[in-house]
Structure 1
């Protein structure tokens, strides 16, 4: 592989910098891959254009620090070996210039991933992220699975992090729903795809790939899922998705970090409410209090993401959820007269008109309609319920 290959440079930078490093993005953009590589591998930091250092060089110190930060890994980077390992696993590397690159990741700006190391195929469907607590409850798992299954049944791709708890419930629900639709699911790893975490989900990850989804990471295959990389991973989950839905989360849950990144990107955020006073739902309640959409089921998410004119035929808030029957289905005047009639005795037309607050003529018209429908009958006193 030659040093002019864009994939080689992407693999090399992936092995040098931590995800979201803005200095790497700025350097490559300003100098191009070959010159950026030469500057980073030099024996000492060289001169840089003023667009990077500033007119008076006030940002030069930060570039010296970036070079020093990258130096230890430059001596050990083996991009050829990383790419060979990925190939042996049946995976492939995507860069922003690849035709399969998710365009939504460009919304991250300087924090856009340098590359994605992918097992499987990144689905082309619109995506929704479903995230939440690792120590999830039966309530959270059930709703996470049900919502994911219904969304994939409608053709959506479910994005999550592959972790224990809500992440796993979302992936499993998505896989179950795929038999009824064309949806898929994507797991975004904090570590490399050669060290999938958690190892207990190896079978789940294999199912995701086998059924047309993807397991992906922005770090080389053998990198471990260090704690700080989970926070970096969250921005990718948020950027891949049109909305982030938090199913169950305490006040300090990492799922809230994903929701914050989604808000920063201008994405929709929704949250499932839980029992008041239960810590595992307190983060969801805070999101809802601060403007997140309250989510009860998948239809709420679809409505949140669907243009208004596509839902104009839906029932408006306050309208009956089911059609009225019996007395409730009567026209207003007939219903008023019916309710004014005594339950067990008859009454005269004048008394009925007074009780209903209608004229005798309008009362008689209403009685005629009620008689035709078999709901009233003639009575010795005048009229009575049938």
Structure 2
């Protein structure tokens, strides 16, 4: 019996390793798909400039990659940046109507002429294209904030990113964050328009504002989170401001005009993706509820998970996804919240008797009645 049990555990461990490997391969495939559009643009550019075939254009890309010791995707993004640098209109869009008195003078002296256009240097334009490809795949506002940091601003020394949306009454709601403690996210979830907070000024005026901790203290402004410097950047859509992206640095620094323009393009790209998430089916509800879900999960003791159904085209439930987990969550194999979040039950526990569990979850979802199970071995 012991030998059979040991063999079963070894088989389960091998299966878990296989599933983990396949998941890593799938994540890699998705990343390559996001980058393929950039490579195809670069191939088209070279094919046109060199009058060669797409295959020969890719050979040129590969040769440049080897010569410069850079990845092909970085070379491709660099070429696109050189050929078509991103331009940043300096015009200030209209902000949402609000009666906020921010208590500081408007620095209209630094307002750029409406006809001014700032071009990004090639290296920043290349990073912009790479970041946009990654942000376009973000599934929610928190992932969008993390992606913006990882691909777009981490290299500039920033330690945190916060994404907010402007509400009709002039308040600002925090919908996504990376690098901030949960207590800070919870405390500043919704900021009324009556408070003196830097990003409220950006939301009201529709233009960037860079501020240090010392400057905030001198003006009587709240300074959310750690660090010494932040950029409050409007996420602009057409002629209005959807929200504000806040990029934070651990130390005060001088930032040149090109980098400031780059960060504004990043904020606009994040705004486009955030707008798509809000407009998606139930997107507004999902964006608004995400913070409260995290707050509840942080407050509950033990291992707690929020399960969401995975449906087929006809609406039938195929599986359940652990959408969010409490910080202390751990399953019987020792996997932590970071390893469980975003995974599916059938992927995590392929040998478990899940039929009864699935039925109970489905009944709770449709009836609202609690479902309890006293003993069910998942592994």
Normalized against structure 2, the TM-score is what?
A: 0.28
Greater C-alpha radius of gyration: 1
Which protein is richer in strand relative to its size?
2
